[in-house]
Structures are given as C-alpha cells and as structure tokens.
A and B are shown apart, each in its own frame.
Chain A
Amino acid sequence: MSDISQTATLQGKPQPDPAAPAVAAMLDELEEGSSLWKDAWARLRKNKLALTSLFLFIVIILFCVVGPFLSPYDSQAQNLLVGAEGPSAAHWFGTDTLGRDLLVRVMEGGRISLLVGLVATTVSLMIGVIFGAVAGYMGGRVDAAMMRFVDLLYALPFTIFVILLMVAFGRSLWLMFVAIGCVEWLTMARIVRSGVIGLKKQEFVEAAVSLGYSHTRIIMRHLIPNVLGPVIVISTLTVPAVMLLEAFLSFLGLGVQPPYASWGVLINEGQQNMEIFPWLLIFPAFFFALTLFCLNFLGDGLRDALDPKSAKD
C-alpha cells in the first residue's frame, strides 16, 4: 500500500539523509542480541557482589563437574579398614563411615544437586510463569478456574503427588527432576498472576491492545518481562527448596539411591553422626550453603539489572 512506496521514498531520497548511516549502525547495535538481556548484563557487570557470586557459582559447577576426574579416588570404593577419618593430606575432606573419600562424594553429589536445582527450577519457572500470566491476563472465570486448580494442587500433599508422578512415569533421575518441578510451580504461578493483574490495569497494556497486538504477544512480550523481578527472586528461593525436596525423596527411597549421593543425602547422613564425625556434615553443608548464597546474591543482582529504571548512568 502507500506505506511501501513511502518507505521506498524514505530510503531512496535524492539527497542522502545524514542520519542514514548512523541509523544502520545503531540498528546493528540494537539488534545485537535481545536488548533486554544485553542491557541487563551491562548493568550486572557493575554489581560487584553479584559478579563475585556468579564467579563463585561457576567455580562450584566446575568443581563438581571436573573435580571427580582429577581425584585419585573412586566415590564408591569402600575402605572398611580405614573407616571414618578426619581430614588429612590424603583425604582432604576426610572419609565417611565406609571409608569413602568425602571430597569425591561431595563433588559427585553436587552434580546431582545442581542438576536437580536447575532442571526442576526451570520446569517450575516455565509452568508457573505461563500459567500465572495467562490466568492473570484472562481474568474472570478463566482465572477463577485456573487458580482453583492451583489451590487444589496446594491442598494435595506434594510428596504424595511426586510419588504418584514417579510411580506413573517410572523411576529415573530426570523424571524426578521434572516431577519436582511440576509441584514447585504453584507459588510462582500465584506471584506472576498477582503481578500481571496489577500490570494489566496500566495503560500500556490497553495501548498495546489498541495498537492491534495479539493476546499471546501482549502476554509474552509486554507482561512477562515486567514481572521478571519477582520471578527471579522466587526462582532463587525455589532452587534450595527443590534441592531439599530431592534429599527428602532420596531419604524415602524415591530419589538418589546409594551408592550414589547428592548434597541432600550427604547432609542427611552427616547429621546422623554429627557429634562423632562432624566433618561429614560440615563439608557438604558448606557447599550447599555457599551455592544458595551465590544464587541469592546473583538473583538479587539480576533483578536489579533487569529493571531498566535501576540504571544509574
């Protein structure tokens, strides 16, 4: 229509617009990655605490993923002659009651704990955010029905729910991750819903409708980015929650089975003997706590970084 010819005349003007090359350069700059995340990274870099946390978190991941290959010990090799011994030059973290090297067990346990933390949180994030945003945006009866469903799931004892899911789908670690994610999204959905309800009264949502955007587009592009702040904070709280849930399920015999271990399982074993062999509790608990601290500070930093209004420059 007329607009095409118009753009053509805009670009093919006889006298070249002095702004034209600048526009092209600027567009490249703007298009380089999603601008929201790129800006967020620029702001995050200025936050020392968050950056340190990110660095530490990466170190912990490397420690858990690469560490076992460098260790001379096998996490499952028992040495009943040694038994539980405190930290020494040979076994930096000491050994457990079966004489297994604790350092390797902490590293291998970390793999499972970090994996469950990330996978289950991602699953809960996806379900919770989309469910909550749709419920909040649609409002009315749809919202009521969707949120009653959430209430219903809240009322179910979640362990029973996980057990049911695992019985139905068989026992594998990945399924456990997904099953945990499937029960941990409820709080997320509620928070996102309340955020969206507050936002949709704002005129920019009405403006988006009046510009002819579809519902999907408004939810995905205009509403969800605006609730990212609380979502990230809840995510950082979900990570420890799912790690603990995994430890609990393992304790019930549904999760990680011996001889494999996760931090939750190690802590659980450690606290049974903590008066006699305190190092069995201290080392896994230290890594667990350190990871959670890192994620919390990182989450805080990310929340600020994702909010354009917090930019100080």
Chain B
Amino acid sequence: MALLEVEDLATYFHTREGTVRAVDGVSFSIDRGETLGIVGESGSGKSVTCYSLMRLIPEPPGRIERGVARFDGQDLLKMGKSDLRNIRGDRISMIFQDPMTSLNPYLRISTQLIEAQTTHRDIDRKAALFKAIKALEEVGIPDASNRVKSYPHEFSGGMRQRVMIAMALINEPDLLIADEPTTALDVTVQAQILDIIKQRQERLGTAVILVTHDLGVVAGNCDKVNVMYAGQIVESGSAEQVFYEAKHAYTRSLQKTIPSLQEKGQELYTIPGLPPDLTKPINGCAFYPRCPFPKTGAAETGRPALKDLGNGHCFADCGYCDSSGSIESVLAKGDTDDIHLPSEGAGA
C-alpha cells in the first residue's frame, strides 16, 4: 500500500466573486522514499493541494469539498484536530516558500528546534539540543554548535531554509511536503538546498512531495511528476515519461518555455493567454483556449478524464493533443493566430 493515497481531492474557496475551484478532483499516490513533483503555473492548485493535505487551508473562505487522503490508512481530511496535531510535524512536515518569514524571529534557533521535538517526543532538553545540533550539521550549517544559539535574522535566506529543513526533518517524518522550497532563493543556493533535501531523503527514507514551477528542478529530482492545470492533473507519470514522451499539449507548451531549450537570440516563448477563471465551470479541456494544436472539436461537457497509457503514464485526453506531431512544427507554421483565444481571454 502506498504511503499516501489521494483520491478526488477538491478544495474550493467561497469568495464574494464566486466559488473558486482551486483544486477540483485530484488523485495521486506516493510511496515511501519516493519523490513526487507537482508542476504547473501560478494558480494551478499546486500549493492548495499541499495545504489541503496538511489541513492548513484557511476556513472560511476555503473548504475541502470532497476527497480522501489516506495516509498510512488514516484519512487526513476527516481526522480530528488532536490526531492531526500528532501527525503534523511528527509524521508529515512541511517546508515553506519564504525562509525569511518561516522562522519565529523572537526565538533562538535552538529553542525552535527543541520545541519541535519536545512537542512530539518524550525527550529531555539536553538530548533534544544534541539532536538539534546534529540536524544542523547534517544540513550543512558550519559551526553548528555555536550557530544553534543564533536568532533567525542572523542567518541568510539559504541558511534559514536549511534550518527549516532541519526542523521539518528532525522528527524523521514519513512524508515531507516542500512547497516551492527554492523559489525565494538565489539560483546558486537552490541546487544546494535541493541536494540537501535529496541527501536527507535517502538517509531517512522520507517520501517527498516537491511543489515547483521550475521544470528543471522536477527533471533532476523527481521519480514521479504530476502536471497541474486549472485545479486538475492534466498529465502524470514517471519523470522520463512526462519529459521525453509528453502527451498533453500543456506539458509540451511548458517544456517549450524552458529558456535553455530555446534558440539564442530569439524572443523567449511564452504560452499565450491566461489560465481560465476558476469561478466559472470549465467545459472540455481547460487548456483548450490556449492550445497550439489546431482542432475543430466543440467544447464537451465536463473535463476530459485522465487516460492511462498502460505504463503508469496518464494524461487528460481530449482527443486532439497527441494527433498533430511535434509542437515545434505547429508553432513554426502558424503564428498565434491559430490559437483559439476567446475574445475575453485575449482582452485580459
């Protein structure tokens, strides 16, 4: 049995402008020791998926509408508050996007690392401090036994993210959710942070959900990848499958946007248009208005379901994605005129 099995997770935000279907029927699973990447552009529901699993969605306006998230047999979404507190930080922990604000500025690193342990374990403070120093050493903080006495503001962004990783992993959780852990960091530090997560994962056998919008990060670090668009998974499979045999037009468009894969001197490719308004029901493929492949099909009712290609590689097939050869040839022969931008989408 997989460590975490998510089925048909849906999280809506009930705002004055209407109901935003931020996550609308997402299913995936992750095994022990595995790394699952979730990619997609801003607003595609990556973070909301993770926050839903940790039940960190502010309610109201947010609400988990339906779904099951079986973690080691228990449903995270239906769990009582105190059971949830026991799991958080002990068996599942999380790393956040902005290391500058994710440590309490008024408490020493040592206090925060000790508190993380004494909350969940019957451990005396001396042993906890000892473990804290070890943990800091393991994430590559030099002179850890002195640095542990520092306050967060005495660390740089990359160092703080290391401390966060140390704190998240100090109780040796089964699952680590990393919500864009490198977005706020310098490029030079990003690779180090990812390396550290990977190292620690190999040592502890932790499963990692890595949320990012950096395709390079996913390619280098993940076993499995989910590509999300407009609150749903549009393609999933092993990293190789999603990268080398991408089926869905959105995945292929995303790949096209990677700067290093583009010709020098040319204007960088961007996907035209904007993601759809999630307060309105979506008929047919959500990517249809921005899809570069010519097609004639009228919008169906409901969104296309994930089609399994038989080897674990799934994509939301509307019947047109795979038909028209390489995306380069499509983009080469036609300009953006071919793209079915609805007038309101183009206006926005």
Contact = CB atoms under 8 A, between A and B. Distances in A.
Interface stretch (B127-135, B238-246, B298-306, B333-341): B127-135
A285 to B, nearest CB: 39
B123 interface: yes
Interface in B173-232: none
B106 A7 contact: no
B159 to A, nearest CB: 16
Given A24-B126, A26-B129, A30-B108, A203 B88 contact: no
Instruction: Give the one of B104, B108, B122, B145 with max A CB within 10 A.
Output: B104
Interface in B81-109: 84-90, 93-94, 96-98, 101-108
A19 B122 CA distance: 23
B19 interface: no
Contacts of B131: 7, 10
Given A19-B133, A308-B106, A308-B151, A211 B89 contact: yes
B149 interface: yes
Contacts of A212: 84-90, 119-120
B128 to A, nearest CB: 8
Contacts of B76: none
A74 B75 CA distance: 76
Interface string B314-338: 0000000000000000000000000
Interface in A1-25: 2-4, 7, 10-11, 19-20, 22-24
A22 B105 CA distance: 25
Q: Which 4 A-B pairs have the closest CB atoms?
A: A211-B89, A212-B89, A212-B88, A203-B102
A204 interface: yes
Interface in A153-204: 202-204
Given A204-B104, A222-B104, A209 B56 contact: yes
Contacts of B119: 211-213, 217
Nearest to B120: A212
B309 to A, nearest CB: 36
A2 B126 CA distance: 18
B255 interface: no
B78 interface: no
Given A211-B167, A213-B119, A23 B88 contact: no
Contacts of B90: 212
Interface string A24-39: 1011001100011000
Interface in A75-92: none
Interface in B50-96: 54, 56, 60, 84-90, 93-94, 96
Interface in B151-167: 151, 153, 164, 167
A10 B89 contact: no
Given A203-B98, A213-B89, 15 more contacts: A3-B171, A23-B126, A23-B133, A26-B149, A30-B129, A30-B149, A202-B101, A204-B105, A208-B104, A211-B89, A211-B168, A212-B86, A212-B88, A213-B85, A225-B106
